[in-house]
Amino acid sequence: ISKCIADSDLIAVSVLSGNRNFEGRISPDVRANYLASPPLVVAYALVGDMNVDITTEPLGQDKDGNDVFLKDIWPSQSEIADLVKKTVTRDAFQSKYADVFKGDEKWRGVETTDSLTYDWPSSSTYVQNPPYFQDMGPEPGTISDVKDARVLALLGDMVTTDHISPAGSFKESTPAGQYLVDRQVPVREFNSYGSRRGNHQVMMRGTFANIRIRNEMLDGVEGGYTKGPDGEEMPIYDAAMAYQKQGTPLVIFAGEQYGAGSSRDWAAKGTALLGVKAVIAENFERIHRSNLVGMGVIPFEFTGGDSRKSLDLTGDETVSITGLEGDLKPGAIVPCTIAYADGSTKEIEIKCRIDTAIEKEYIEHGGVLHYVLRNLAKAA
């Protein structure tokens, strides 16, 4: 099926009654998803074609060749009520939840220790000790200007948190897939990004790795790719690690409603772990902006009608943001200097979306996790 979709350049879609309606979430081959009630999901499954108007055209034929329409299979309220009465019972809940904390045989077979703390086994590919607190001192730091940052991605409008941190399956050829293969995990046991969200090594490699994300630094390329320090096309994770090795900070440019969709914490965590210091967008989805601040990444918004397009950004620029050191006020307008590849520069003003005094403290601490941990340590 996958080969047929690719060879025929088909736009495969899904109709579902859940909330997994992000690009590539149902399957890497599915480009569009439509939310519908369960009966409509069944109806479209019977038709198998989104080009059919199921309100006027038949869904198919019965065994005698007669047309069957949506109204013929749509359940009545009394049918639904009868089914609920038969199946949603007290006995059903009691039998299912009587031993809910006991777990099944596999759960009871998990080896445990009497230690009060988790020992973080290095062999686990599901749970690893994240590096958030490495080299963390007892006192917070200060907010620093962003100097000579490189562009990791140049993104458009409505980039969702699932574009930033997908939760679906991934292939062997991806950085996350290669990480697992290197640890002798067979492809059939890859599972999904979402199931491995306890392992930052997988999730970092999955950040900006949605198969449908489009980085405008590359012409017509879908997926998590960018230009590395040498200008060559490579996975975003590989480029970020190369920049980290050089000690080069990174920025993201984006359009409107950056971070829309699910309030996925890993969309901010992964961004921070890749070494991104700032995200400059036309505007942000409310929760994702807050999550970025919580992970120590500063969100900025263009002002004065500027945008990635009006500035003719290609991703080859170097970016410096000043005015952050010292007495930075929430919502301050600060200078941003863009140095183009041809040697020219342009200074614009951007709005710092650190919106409150407490958010400024979070950034000074390196994120809300550091803020909480230091306060707990002081109170101990």
pLDDT digits (tens, 9 = 90+) for 252-279: 999 999 999 888 999 999 999 999 999 9
Query: Residue 239 — pLDDT band, cuts 50, 70, 90?
Result: very high
Region at 223 (left for phi over 0; alpha for psi -120 to 50; beta for the rest): left
Residue 2: predicted pLDDT: 85
Could you tell me which residues come within 8 angstroms of residue 65 by beta carbon, excluding any fewer than 6 positions away?
none
Residue ranges covered by each domain of the chain: 2-97, 146-165+207-379
User: What is the torsion angle, in degrees rounded to the nearest 10, for the CA atoms of residue 220, residue 221, residue 222 and residue 225?
Assistant: -150
Q: What sign has the CA pseudo-torsion 362, 275, 168, 11? A: positive
Compute the average pLDDT of residues 125-153.
96
Query: In the structure encoding, which two tokens stand for residue 267, read together?
Result: 């969309």
Contact 168, 231 (CB under 8 A): no
Residue 217: predicted pLDDT: 98
Distances (CA, A) of 150 to 81, 181, 292: 60, 31, 19
Query: In the structure encoding, which two tokens stand for residue 192, read together?
Result: 């999904």
Quote the strand ranges of the chain, DSSP E.
12-16, 30-35, 60-61, 67-68, 146-154, 225-227, 233-235, 250-253, 276-281, 298-302, 318-321, 333-339, 345-352
Mean pLDDT for the chain?
Answer: 94
Architecture of domain 146-165+207-379 in CATH? Alpha-Beta Barrel (3.20)
Q: Is the pLDDT of residue 32 over 90?
A: no
Cα separation of 108 and 377, whole Å? 35
DSSP 214: B
What is the value of pTM for the model shown? 0.86
Pairing of strands 333-339, 12-16: unpaired
pLDDT digits (tens, 9 = 90+) for 164-189: 999 988 999 999 999 999 999 999 99
Compute the average pLDDT of residues 235-261.
97
CATH class for domain 2-97?
Answer: alpha beta
H-type helices in 215-343, by residue range?
236-246, 265-273, 286-294
pLDDT digits (tens, 9 = 90+) for 303-349: 999 999 999 999 999 999 999 998 999 999 999 999 999 999 999 99
Least confident of 24-38, 144-158, 221-235, 252-266: 24-38
Query: Residue 31 — pLDDT band, cuts 50, 70, 90?
Result: confident
pLDDT digits (tens, 9 = 90+) for 183-223: 999 999 999 999 999 999 999 999 999 988 999 999 989 99
